[in-house]
């Protein structure tokens, strides 16, 4: 069994891994840049080590991270999500130095990170994929020819892309001509590769993903699906498990496809297979070779601790559950509470958290790294916390979400919380029938009124009285 883990990440996912380690009797080692010196994951881990002044460089240096794991006596490394979580080089260096990488092999990461290679693997396994190019396009001229063959609209995608970056929808030849150099530039900067390919744009699909677990004994299971259709500019905002939009037959079909996809590439550990669903047809989109931000809602409906399973698998143990033992119960929603102002085009709102009150009560969970007095640094993702609610029915889950969002207080920065309340009140959302166009189709939901903070009102009144009295 693994005895000590270096957590090669920060923020709430690092705190999440620290908690799993504590429950399993495993020592945890946190890392931090100067910007993260006072972060919660640093306070909660058994040990914490600086990775330098630069806010990003240390988190993105695979050899430095593995060297630190060796120096601190760790026998494993957990990459979390983001940063180097899908970096094949990190997995390779871990193998070289005798450190267990809590994730799939470097070969699988590389194959699934290459979107055209992933498409070929899925086609070979009989998993339906979106119509598109067989491989990368050499230049703009070839892209234009292929787009005419596929038919507009098309999606121009970075081959090594992920997280909603390096992707553009092109409705015409003119839009493709404009988007091509931009995607090439973005892909090169973000992923170090200028390779791109084309896919048919599935207009207004539902975005459905399936969670899988696979061990080294050939056992692969799915933990049902999550609905990630509520998103803005390819960035997920609210996730739901299971999807209220699927029939039992569709649910079983997608789960079977996810298991088939994982087995086809020899997958091991936790992963997610993402699909698009439109007009009754299911299309493979990509495979994420890491734990997902939204793994929480799958844990809520199945009762399975995904991070714990990750550690067990990396320790060489078999899965603790079989497919026939896995059931789902109720509905769970996750709200990504971002430090952004929806009323101002979702402008980032970094700064000091002057007050933070976590919501509670039945069926409410928060995964976060913020606290009262914490300053959100401007160098990282804007997510403050993940608010997760669970209830037996879809209607009860939505109502619980409204109550929990109302209970929560994050003061000092603007957040997306009131915007999510508007979504939960929307009749289309409440009907359980929506797709990826929901956010852009409802711009009116950002026109909510902001509740005045009582303490701010008291200060304003006191200031006015003092001014009037000449104090």
**Active-site residue list:** 290
Per the listing, tokens 């048919």 go with 200
Residues in the chain, how many? 471
Beta bridge partners of 391: 331
What share of residues in the chain are helix, strand, coil (percent, to 5)?
40, 25, 35
CB atoms inside a 10 Å sphere around CB 126: 10
Phi/psi region, residue 82 (left: phi>0; alpha: psi -120 to 50; beta: rest), is left
Backbone angles phi, psi at 76, to 5 degrees: -155, 160
Q: What is the DSSP letter of 99?
A: P
Instruction: State the Cα–Cα distance between residues 255 and 268, nearest whole angstrom.
Output: 17
| Terminal CA-CA length for the chain | 68
> Is the backbone peptide bond immediately before 242 cis, with ω within 30 degrees of 0?
yes
Cβ contacts of residue 462 below 8 Å, gap of 6+?
none
**Element holding 436 (H helix, E strand):** none
Per the listing, tokens 């997280």 go with 163
Instruction: State the Cα–Cα distance between residues 360 and 339, nearest whole angstrom.
Output: 21
Backbone angles phi, psi at 271, to 5 degrees: -160, 170
């Amino acid at each position: 069994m693994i005895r000590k883990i270096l957590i090669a990440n920060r923020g709430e996912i690092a705190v999440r891994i620290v908690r799993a380690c504590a429950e399993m009797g495993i020592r945890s080692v946190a890392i931090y840049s100067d910007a993260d010196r006072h972060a919660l994951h640093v306070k909660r881990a058994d040990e914490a080590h600086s990775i330098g002044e630069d806010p990003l460089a240390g988190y993105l240096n695979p050899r430095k991270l593995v060297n630190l794991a060796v120096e601190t006596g760790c026998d494993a490394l957990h990459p979390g999500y983001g940063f180097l979580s899908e970096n094949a080089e990190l997995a390779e260096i871990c193998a070289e130095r005798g450190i267990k990488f809590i994730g799939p092999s470097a070969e699988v990461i590389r194959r699934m990170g290459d979107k055209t290679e992933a498409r070929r693997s899925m086609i070979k396994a009989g998993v339906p994929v979106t119509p598109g190019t067989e491989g990368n396009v050499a230049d703009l001229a070839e892209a234009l020819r292929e787009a005419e063959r596929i038919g507009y609209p098309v999606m121009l995608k970075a081959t090594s892309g992920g997280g909603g970056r390096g992707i553009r929808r092109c409705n015409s030849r003119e839009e493709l001509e404009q988007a091509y150099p931009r995607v090439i530039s973005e892909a090169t900067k973000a992923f170090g590769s200028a390779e791109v390919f084309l896919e048919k744009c599935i207009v207004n699909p539902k975005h459905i993903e399936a969670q899988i677990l696979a061990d080294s004994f050939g056992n692969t299971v799915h933990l049902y699906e999550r609905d990630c259709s509520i998103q803005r500019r390819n960035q997920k905002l609210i996730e739901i498990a299971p999807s209220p939009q699927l029939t039992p037959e569709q649910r079983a079909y997608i789960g079977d496809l996810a298991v088939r996809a994982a087995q086809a590439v020899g997958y091991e550990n936790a992963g997610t297979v993402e699909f698009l669903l439109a007009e009754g047809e299911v299309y493979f989109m990509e495979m994420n070779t890491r734990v997902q931000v939204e793994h929480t809602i799958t844990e809520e409906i199945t009762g399975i601790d995904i991070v714990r399973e990750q550690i067990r698998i990396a320790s060489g143990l078999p899965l603790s559950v079989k497919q026939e033992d896995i059931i789902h119960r109720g509905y769970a929603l996750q709200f990504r509470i971002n430090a952004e102002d929806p009323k101002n085009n979702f402008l980032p709102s970094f700064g000091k958290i002057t007050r933070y009150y976590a919501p509670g009560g039945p069926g409410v969970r928060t995964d976060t790294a913020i606290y009262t007095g914490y300053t959100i640094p401007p160098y990282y993702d804007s997510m403050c916390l993940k608010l997760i609610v669970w209830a037996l029915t879809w209607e009860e889950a939505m109502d619980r979400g409204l109550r929990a969002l109302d209970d929560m207080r994050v003061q000092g920065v603007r957040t997306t919380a009131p915007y999510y309340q508007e979504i939960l009140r929307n009749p289309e959302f409440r009907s359980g029938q929506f797709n990826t166009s929901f956010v852009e189709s409802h711009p009116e939901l950002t026109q909510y009124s902001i509740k005045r903070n009582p303490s701010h009102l008291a200060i304003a009144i006191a200031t006015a009285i003092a001014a009037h009295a000449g104090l």
